[in-house]
Amino acid sequence: MTTDKEIIDNKTIQLLELLDKYQQLTTLNRENFINGFFNLSRANFQNEKEKYGLEKYDFRCYKACKIIDINSDNGRFELIDRLLKNESSINDDEHDSPNEDKKKESSSTTMIRNRKDRKTGTIATHDKEIVKQSNDDEETFKDPIKQFGTIVPSELYKCQQNFNNGLNQLIEIINLQIQIKKLIQELS
């Protein structure tokens, strides 16, 4: 049977392991942000005409690609990348079954959209017209790096990857802080 001292010792060891992991994650997070700004300065150096930065942001409203969800069961924070979900659903639509591809190829339909009414389009076939409702539930998300143009330096992509990794690590750090606080309360 375990005694109170053994339970406290086990929780203390667990707390020390979490603190070590926390220290490693904060170091990696710091390095990711340093490398992100370093790659941003490299991209600015390569592009002599325009600089990438706050003054070149597109401030028009559009849906956020990443959101943070709080799990109600355990209170953990989760990062949801809606851009990746959108890309995977597009890829799933492109890779339909072969029977559906044959049906699409066999029917010679073309989509004609009424410019005034964006929600509806008409599909013209050989004999008849069918009105088709567009799917409003389908949300499209824009990759933020595309606001700087279609052709950007590779350093800008590296910069984006560094900041994305930093954001993922920030979520892990916050979750570790929650676990550490719980253990400290249990030890008190």
What's the DSSP call for residue 95? Answer: T
Same domain, 112 and 67: no
Q: What is the pLDDT at residue 58?
A: 75
Q: What is the pTM of this model?
A: 0.68
Domain count, the chain: 2
Host domain of residue 18? 1-48+61-86+151-188
Which 3 state secondary structure label does DSSP give 154?
helix
Same domain for 106 and 15?
Answer: no
- Average pLDDT for 149-155: 87
Residue 105: its pLDDT value, please? 47
Q: Do 133 and 75 belong to one domain?
A: no
Q: Provide the edge-to-edge strand list for the sheet that holds 120-124.
A: 110-113, 120-124, 129-133
Query: Whole-angstrom Cα distance, residue 26 to residue 86?
Result: 30
The verdict on residue 40 lying in a domain is yes
Q: Are strands 77-81 and 66-70 parallel, antiparallel or unpaired?
A: antiparallel
**From the centroid of its chain, how far is CA 107?**
37
Q: How far apart are CA 188 and CA 181, in angstroms?
A: 11
185 plus 104 within the same structural domain: no
Say yes or no: 80 and 160 in one domain. Answer: yes
Domain check: are 24 and 102 in the same one?
Answer: no
The verdict on 74 and 159 lying in the same domain is yes
pLDDT for res 90: 65
Greatest alpha-carbon pair distance for the chain in Å reads 84
Residues 133 and 111 in one domain: yes
33-47, 92-106, 133-147: which is most confident: 33-47
Residue 42 sits in the same domain as residue 80: yes
Is pLDDT of 126 > 80? no
pLDDT at position 14 over 90: yes
Instruction: Answer positive or negative: Cα dihedral of 99, 105, 107, 112.
Output: positive
Non-local CB neighbours of 92 within 8 Å, separated by 6+ positions: none
Structure tokens at 43: 């991209």
The reply to whether 35 and 77 lie within a common domain is yes
Q: Are residues 71 and 160 in the same domain?
A: yes
